[in-house]
Amino acid sequence: MAYVALYRKWRPRSFDEVKGQEAIVKTLKNQIAGKRIGHAYLFCGSRGTGKTTMAKIFAQAVNCENPQDGCACGRCETCRSIEEGRSTNVIEIDAASNNGVDNIREIRDEVQYRPPTGKYRVYIIDEVHNISNVAFNAMLKTLEEPPEYVIFILATTEPHAIPVTVLSRCQRYDFHRITPGDMVARLKELMAGESIEAEEAALSYIARKADGAMRDAISLFDQCVSAMPGQILRYEDVLKALGTVDSAVLSRYFRALLTDDATDALNLIQEMRQEGRDLGHFVTDFVWYLRNLLVLMTSDAPPDVLELSREDWVRLSEEGQMTSPEELMTLIRLFSALGGDMRNAADKRVLLEVATIQGIRPQTGETQEALSARLRALERSVERLAREGIAPGKIAPSEAPAAEAAQTARSRKTDSEKTGETGETVKLTPAQWEDLQLIRQHWNELLGELDYQSVQLLKRSRLEPLDNGVLRVVFPDTFTANMVKSFGTLSRLEQLTAAKYQKSLRFDLRTAKKDEKEPVYITDEELSGIHMKIETDTEE
**CATH architecture label of 426-540:** 2-Layer Sandwich (3.30)
Please report the pLDDT score of residue 389 as a whole number. Answer: 65
Q: Residue 254: pLDDT above 50?
A: yes
Among 57-71, 312-326, 469-483, 519-533, the minimum mean pLDDT is found in 519-533
Domain at 180-242: CATH architecture: Orthogonal Bundle (1.10)
More confident residue, 346 or 330: 330
Q: What is the mean pLDDT of residues 303-323?
A: 77
Q: Does residue 527 contact residue 486 with C-beta atoms inside 8 Å?
A: yes
Residues 6+ positions from 387 with CB-CB distance below 8 Å:
none
Is pLDDT at 297 greater than 80 in this prediction? yes
Tens of pLDDT, residue by residue over 346-377, are 788 899 998 898 888 766 555 566 666 666 66
Taking only Cα atoms into account, the Rg of the chain, rounded to an integer number of angstroms, comes to 32
Q: What is the pTM of this model?
A: 0.63
The CATH architecture to which 6-174 belongs is 3-Layer(aba) Sandwich (3.40)
Cα atoms in the 13 Å half-sphere on the side-chain side of 347: 9
Torsion of CA 297, 298, 303, 305, to 10 degrees: -150
For domain 247-369, the CATH class is mainly alpha
Crossing angle of helices 348-360 and 478-487, rounded to 10°? 50
Q: Which residue has the higher pLDDT, 199 or 366?
A: 199
Residue 426: pLDDT band with limits 50, 70, 90: low
Separation between Cα atoms, residue 370 and residue 364, nearest integer Å? 6
CB 217 within 8 A of CB 189: no
Domain regions of the chain by residue span: 6-174, 180-242, 247-369, 426-540
Bridge partners of 419? 425
The residue ranges of DSSP E strands in 81-181, in sequence order, are: 90-94, 121-126, 150-156, 171-174
Name the pLDDT band for 87 (thresholds 50, 70, 90). confident
Q: How, if at all, do strands 150-156 and 40-44 pair?
A: parallel
- Of 173-177, 346-350, 441-445, the range with the highest mean pLDDT is 173-177
The continuous run of DSSP H or E covering 429 comes out as strand 429-430
DSSP conformation letters of 256-317: HHHTT-HHHHHHHHHHHHHTT--HHHHHHHHHHHHHHHHHHHHS---TTTTT--HHHHHHHH
User: Rounded to whole angstroms, how far apart are CA atoms 376 and 379?
Assistant: 5
pLDDT at 305 over 70: no
